[in-house]
Amino acid sequence: MNRAPRLEIDLDKIFHNAHALVQRLDCHGISVTGVTKATLGSPDIANVLLRAGVKSLGDSRIESIESMHDANVVSKMTLIRTPMITQAARVVKCADISFNTEIEVIRQLSVEARKAGRTHRVLLMVELGDLREGIMPDDLVQVVRETLRLPNIALDGIGTNLACRSGVSPDVNNMAKLTELAKLVEATTGQSLNMVSGGNSANLTWALGDAPTGRINNLRLGEAILLGRETLQREPIPGLHTDAITLVAEVIESKIKPTKPWGHIAQTAFGVRRTAKDRGGVLQSIVAIGRQDIDPEGLEATRGIRICSASSDHLVLESTDQKLPIGAEVTFQLNYSALLRAMTSPFVGKLHNHLGQAKSPRRGSLQAAS
Ligand SMILES: *Cc1c(COP(=O)(O)O)cnc(C)c1O
């Protein structure tokens, strides 16, 4: 029996999404690094991405890269968050490339790479306005020079990350700036750059548009592959599946209840004050999942079921048409935030089909190709 709650992961749909994005970006001279962080470095999903043609795998946690390594996933591995200096030895051992923003860390990677008798490749991340990680553009050439002097370190390229902390959109201006910086580095240091990595799923609108892509020859894609959406407006990407991953939870209570709580009203378990309008009696159910496992704001239920609220272990639903039976399963769509938490919860099972064994796509689940 399939236990609940669980994520149902359709590897065929993930393959389709990854393959479609790899093909479309290839026409623009852009390779794809498949980002596995939302799956905690799942070897099954990693292998699907590789079969779909991603050039390398990227994860933000060295632990996940190590587990893919241990599961014999054969790929170039990129650590896409700047390494903790205390993890330098582990990074050098399991990651082929790491993204970096601090020369102090790169020096330590050099020390560890030398001890291990290896060359570690680094990609320098540049700040282009989103104010998360990155070297300030004016400092880039100096950091490149210092990096090039370090033994057992090779400079793979430069990159940037937008639309994560501040929602700054990748566009012709900031992408042209990255191209300009790549040219500047090459002109002033004589070092040619292998990779110029322009960003994440938020870059797709720019990359697949009409504007020239300049020197940018790589994107790192996670969400767009798993959820089939671009991430600036969260619009479905034409031709991709938006339901490759769904969440299933089980009904543990189902009653007609009033909509207005009674008694003196103070804070809820999560520190908010609720005001409820009296709408009379409704069909209220509880499914056995909560904030420990999901972000309730990031769930969408099927027609006729409304998500009302959530505490640690209870998700409260209202159904408009019928009383949900005890033990029944309710299916939800997830956004990235809900997916991340569900993947991380040990209480949520992860169930996937084997590649090529899936039923044909459910009607209406495939976004029309443009
Ligand atoms: C998470 C992450 C990505 C992937 O982002 P998606 O929006 O999932 O495509 C790419 N680059 C960096 C540095 C990241 O941290």
Q: Give the pLDDT confidence of 104-147 residue by residue, as tens digits.
A: 999 999 999 999 999 999 999 999 999 999 999 999 999 999 99
Write the pLDDT tens digit of every residue in 79-99.
999 999 999 999 999 999 999
Q: Which residue, of 198, 227, 256, is where some domain finishes?
A: 227
How many angstroms separate the alpha carbon of residue 230 from the centre of ligand 1?
12
Q: Residue with the nearest Cα to atom 3 of ligand 1?
A: 200
Give the residue whose CA is nearest to atom 13 of ligand 1.
80
Measured between alpha carbons, how far is 95 from 91 in angstroms, rounded to an integer?
Answer: 5
Q: Locate tokens 């408009």: which residue?
A: 320
pLDDT, averaged across the chain: 94
Q: Is residue 234 a part of any domain in this protein?
A: no
Same domain, 18 and 56: yes
Short-list 13, 71, 61, CA closest to 40: 61
Provide the residue count of the chain.
370
Listed residue (191, 187, 190, 222) closest to 204, CA to CA: 222
Residues 271, 176 within the same domain: no
Whichever domain contains 186, its CATH number is 3.20.20.10
Asked if 254 contacts 324 with a C-beta cutoff of 8 angstroms, the reply is: yes
Q: Are residues 221 and 259 in the same domain?
A: no
Last residue of a domain, one of 201, 227, 253: 227
Band (pLDDT 50/70/90 cuts) for residue 208 is very high
Which residues have a catalytic role annotated? 37
Same domain? For 168 and 46 the reply is yes
Q: What is the pTM of this model?
A: 0.94
- Is 91 part of any domain? yes
C-alpha 20/C-alpha 174 separation (Å) is 26
Whether residue 62 lies inside any domain: the answer is yes
Which H helix or E strand runs over 120? strand 120-126
Of ligand 1's listed atoms, the one at least distance from the Cα of 159 is: 13
Residues 302-314 have pLDDT tens digits of 999 999 999 999 9
Query: Which residue, judged by its Cα, is nearest atom 5 of ligand 1?
Result: 200
What is the 333 CA–ligand 1 centroid distance (Å)?
21
129 and 275 share one domain = no
Residue 163: name the closest of 198, 210, 124 by CA: 198
Mark whether 188 and 41 lie in a shared domain.
Answer: yes
The CATH number of the domain holding residue 249 is: 2.40.37
Residues 6+ away with beta carbon under 8 Å from 214 = 175, 176, 178, 179
pLDDT of residue 286: 98
Alpha helices in the chain (DSSP H): 11-26, 43-51, 62-70, 88-94, 103-116, 140-148, 172-189, 204-207, 223-227, 336-344
Evaluate whether residue 67 is within a structural domain.
yes
Q: What is the pLDDT of residues 175-201, one digit of tens each?
A: 999 999 999 999 999 999 999 999 999
Shortest-distance Cα residue to atom 7 of ligand 1: 201
Closest CA to 82 of 146, 135, 40, 39: 135
Pair 339, 302 in one domain: yes
**CA–centroid distance, residue 228 to ligand 1 (Å):** 14
Residues with CB under 6 A from ligand 1: 35, 37, 60, 80, 161, 200-201, 220-224, 231
Q: Is residue 187 part of a domain?
A: yes
**Domain termination site, one of 227, 259, 284:** 227
What distance in Å separates the CA atoms of residue 358 and residue 220, rounded to the nearest whole number?
27
Exposure on the CB side of residue 16, measured as CA atoms within 13 A? 23
Domain that holds residue 358: 245-368
Would you state the pLDDT for residue 368?
32
The helix or strand, by DSSP H or E, that contains position 196, with its residue range, turns out to be strand 195-197
Ligand 1 atom closest to residue 231's alpha carbon, by position in its atom list: 7
- Expressed in angstroms and rounded, the spacing between residue 201 Cα and the centre of ligand 1 is 7
228, with CB counted inside 10 A (0-12, 13-18, 19+), is buried
Task: Tell me whether residue 5 is in a domain.
Answer: no
Angle between helix 140-148 and helix 172-189 axes, rounded to 10 deg: 40
Ligand 1: which of 14, 160, 200, 340 to mutate, most ligand atoms within 8 Å of CB? 200
How much distance in Å is there from the Cα of 319 to the middle of ligand 1?
Answer: 36
Has residue 317 been placed in a domain?
A: yes
Percent of the chain surpassing pLDDT 90: 91
Q: Residue 196 is which amino acid?
A: V
Closest CA to 225 of 5, 7, 10, 6: 10
* Ligand 1 atom closest to residue 197's alpha carbon, by position in its atom list: 11
Nearest CA to ligand 1 atom 2: 200
Atom of ligand 1 nearest to the CA of 125: 13
Is 1 part of a structural domain of the chain? no
